[in-house]
Amino acid sequence: MRPRIPSPPGPAPLPAAQAQAEADSRGSQSRRFGRGLPIDHQHPFTVGFVAACGVLVAVALAAAVYSIRSTLVLVFLALFIAVGLEPIVDFLVGHRIRRHLAVLVVVLVVAGVIAGFVYSAISPIQNEINELSKQVPIWRHQIATGKGAIGRIAADLHLSYYLSGSGAGSLASTLEHGALGAGKKVLSAVSSFLVVIVLTVYFLAAWPAIKGFFVHLVPRSRRARFGAVLDEVTAGIGGYLLGNLFTSLIAGLGTYLWTIAFGLPYPILLALTVALFDLVPVVGSTVAGVVVSLVGLAVSLPVAIGTAIFYALYRFFEDYLLVPRVMRRAVNVSPAITVLATIVGGALLGIIGALVAIPIAAGIKLVVEESVFPRMDRS
C-alpha cells in the first residue's frame, strides 16, 4: 500500500463574527463593499443616543399638548357633557326611538333652554344700554361744568380731565381699549361655546363606537370587566349631571318665586342665572346669591338683606338636605371628597374643573374599589 501523504493543515478557525462577515462579503455580489458587523445595541453610545432621542420625543409631545391645552379642555368638556346626556338618549332609544332621532330631541331641548336664557337676557341688557346712553351726555356735562353730584365729586378728586378728556390717558381712551379687549374675549367665548356644542353632538351620536374603541384598547380577557366598569362610570357621570340639573332647576324656581314676591326686576333672567351658577358645586349658589342680593338693592336695602338671608338658608337646605339625597343615588362620594375634588378641580381648570371634579372623583373611587382593593386583599 502506498503511504498516505498527510494533507497540509488548514487555516486556523476564525472568530464567529469575523467568519460571518467574510461569508457575507463573499456571498453578496450586489454589495460593492460587503456587509459590516451588526450594531451593538448594548454599546454605551447606542444606549445614550436612543435615550436622548426618547427624551426629545417626549419633550416635543409635551410641548405639543401644552400648546393645544385650551382645545383639549374643550374636547374634554364636550365629552363630559355627551356622557352626561347619554342616559337620556339611552332612555329614548329604549322606548323604540332611533338613536339619531333621540340625539336630535336632546339637542333641541338643550338649544331651547339656551335660547330662552339668551332671549330673557336681551331685553334687560337692551334697556340698560338705552338708559346708559341717555345718562352719559348728562354725566359728561356735569363733569365738564363741575355741577351736579358727579361733577362735584370729579372736581374734588381732580378727575375732571380724566373723565371728560379724550387724550391717551383719559377715561374714553381706557374704555376704548377695554371695549376692544372685551370684544375679543366675547368672540373667543362664543367660538369656544359653538365648538363645545358641535363636539357634544358628535360625541353623543357616536358614543357606542367611542365606547367600543376604548374597550378594544384592553386585552381580550379583560374587556368584559373593563366594559362593565366603564358603564358604571358613565352611568355615574350621567346621574351626577342629571342630579345637578335637578338641583339647579329647584334653585332657579325658588329664585323666580322670590323675585316675583318682592318685586325684583328681571325675574326670569335672575332665575336662569341662578340655575346656571348653581351647576358649579360648593361656590355656585353663593355667587348667584350675591348677584341677586345686589340686584335687590334696586328695590330697597331691606329687600337686599332679606335676599341675602334667603340664599344663606337655601344654601344650608341645598348642601345638607337636597344635594345629599339626590347625589346619593348618582355618585357615592363623601362630602369631604366632594369639597376637596371641587377645590382641586377649580384650581386646575377653573369653572370647568370644578364642574367635572365630583364625577371624576367618583370614577376614580369606583376603579380603586373594583381593581386596587381586591388585589390588596389577596396579597
DSSP of 297-339, one letter per residue?
TTT-HHHHHHHHHHHHHHHHHIIIIIHHHHHTTT----HHHHH
The reported pLDDT for the residue numbered 246 is: 85
Nearest to 223 by CA among 213, 232, 235, 238: 213
Q: Cα angle at 51 between 49 and 55, to 5 degrees? A: 115
Lowest-pLDDT range of 166-170, 322-326, 352-356:
166-170
Instruction: Provide the CB-side half-sphere exposure for 96 (13 A, CA).
Output: 0
Q: Considering the entire predicted model, what is its pTM?
A: 0.67
Higher-pLDDT residue of 173 and 282 is 282
Mean pLDDT over 258-279 rounds to: 87
Mean pLDDT over 45-71 rounds to: 88
The reported pLDDT for the residue numbered 7 is: 52
Burial of 53 (C-beta count, 10 Å sphere; 0-12/13-18/19+): exposed
Looking up cell 464567529 gives 16
Tell me the residue length of the chain. 379
pLDDT in tens, 133-158: 776 677 676 666 666 666 666 666 65
- Split at pLDDT 50, 70, 90, the class of 270 is confident
pLDDT in tens, 215-244: 888 888 888 888 888 888 888 788 788 888
Q: What percent of the chain has pLDDT over 90?
A: 6
Give the whole-angstrom CA distance, residue 243 versus residue 251: 12
Mean pLDDT over 156-184 rounds to: 57
Give domain limits for the chain. Answer: 71-217, 220-374
Give the whole-angstrom CA distance, residue 55 versus residue 304: 60
- The alpha helices in 28-68, defined as continuous H runs, are 44-67
Q: Which of 4-8, 99-103, 348-352 has the highest mean pLDDT?
A: 99-103
- Tell me, rounded to whole angstroms, the distance of Cα 144 from its chain centroid: 48
- Asked if residue 50 has pLDDT above 60, the reply is yes
The reported pLDDT for the residue numbered 338 is: 73
Looking up cell 367660538 gives 191
Cβ(365)–Cβ(285) under 8 Å? no
- Split at pLDDT 50, 70, 90, the class of 55 is very high
Higher-pLDDT residue of 159 and 86 is 86
Q: What average pLDDT does the chain have?
A: 77
Higher-pLDDT residue of 45 and 197 is 197
Mean pLDDT over 14-18 rounds to: 52
The reported pLDDT for the residue numbered 14 is: 47
Q: What percent of the chain has pLDDT over 70?
A: 73
- Asked if residue 102 has pLDDT above 80, the reply is yes
pLDDT in tens, 308-341: 999 888 888 887 777 777 766 666 777 677 777 7
- Split at pLDDT 50, 70, 90, the class of 22 is low
Burial of 49 (C-beta count, 10 Å sphere; 0-12/13-18/19+): exposed
